[in-house]
Amino acid sequence: MKIKTGIGIDVHRLEEGLELWLGGIKVEHEKGCVAHSDGDVLIHAICDALLGAAGMRDIGYHFPDTSDTFKGIDSKILLRKTVELIREKGFEIGNIDSVICMQRPKLKSLIPQMQSCLAGILGIEKEEISVKATTTEKLGFEGREEGVSAYATVLIYKAGMA
C-alpha cells in the first residue's frame, strides 16, 4: 500500500454583507469571505491538501481565480472535482484533520453538520473527518475579525502498491 500525506491552508478577508460558507454549509454571520468563489476556506484547504498529497500542484492551478468559469462557484463543486482528480490517479482518502481559525462566530455546534456535508462529498465516513475550530485569542487578523483561515492535513493511499 502506498500512503501519502498532504497539508493545505487557505485565508480570506472578511467583509460585511457577504455570505459565510465553511465546510460546505452556510454560517449565519454579518461578515463573509471576499473571494473569487464562495470563499469556503475549509474546503479550499482540504482541496490543497488532497492535491498536494497526490503530487498534483494546488487548487489555484486546477481552478484559477482568473477564470470566469469559477467566479462565484460553490466550493463543494471544487471539492468533488478534486476527489475525482485524485481518484483518477488511483488514490483513496484515509482521513482528514482540519482546523478553522476565526474569532466569531463560535462554530462548535456546526461542526457535525460540516462533517456530514464533507463526508458526503468525499465518500468517506464522517468519523474520518476531524474539524476543529479555534479563536486566536483576539490576536492577528482572525482575532481582529478581519479574516478567517483554515488548515487541513490529509492521508491518501493506493491499495496494492509497494
CATH number of the domain encompassing residue 97: 3.30.1330.50
- Alpha carbon 140 to its chain centroid, in Å, reads 21
Provide the pLDDT for residue 120. Answer: 98
Q: Could you tell me the three cell numbers for 37?
A: 468563489
Q: What is the pLDDT of residues 79-113, one digit of tens each?
A: 999 999 999 999 999 999 999 999 999 999 999 99
How many distinct helices (H) and strands (E) make up the chain? 5, 7
* Structural domains counted in the chain: 1
134 annotated to a ligand binding site:
yes
Q: List C-alpha distances in Å: 40 to 1, 13, 65, 87, 161.
A: 32, 11, 14, 22, 34
d(CA 36, CA 54): 25
144 is in an annotated binding site: yes
Tens-digit pLDDT profile for residues 13-53: 999 999 999 999 999 999 999 999 999 999 999 999 999 99
What does the pLDDT read at residue 161?
58
Q: What is the reported pLDDT for 54? A: 98
Give the domain extent around 102: 2-158
49-79 pLDDT, tens digit each: 999 999 999 999 999 989 899 998 999 999 9
The C-alpha angle 16, 43, 161, rounded to 5 degrees, equals 170
pTM recorded for the entire structure: 0.96
Please tell me the predicted confidence (pLDDT) of residue 159: 75
> Do the annotations mark residue 141 as ligand-binding?
yes
Was 135 annotated as part of a binding site? yes
Q: Using an 8 Å Cβ cutoff, are 1 and 161 in contact? A: yes
Whether 123 shows a pLDDT value over 90: the answer reads: yes
Q: Is 5 annotated as a binding residue?
A: no
CB 33 within 8 A of CB 13: yes
Q: For the CA atoms of the chain, what is the radius of gyration?
A: 15
Q: Is 156 annotated as a binding residue?
A: no
Residues 6+ away with beta carbon under 8 Å from 106 = 133
Query: Residue 29 annotated as binding?
Result: no
Predicted pLDDT of residue 151: 98
Distance CA(49)–CA(69), nearest Å, equals 22
pLDDT at position 162 over 90: no
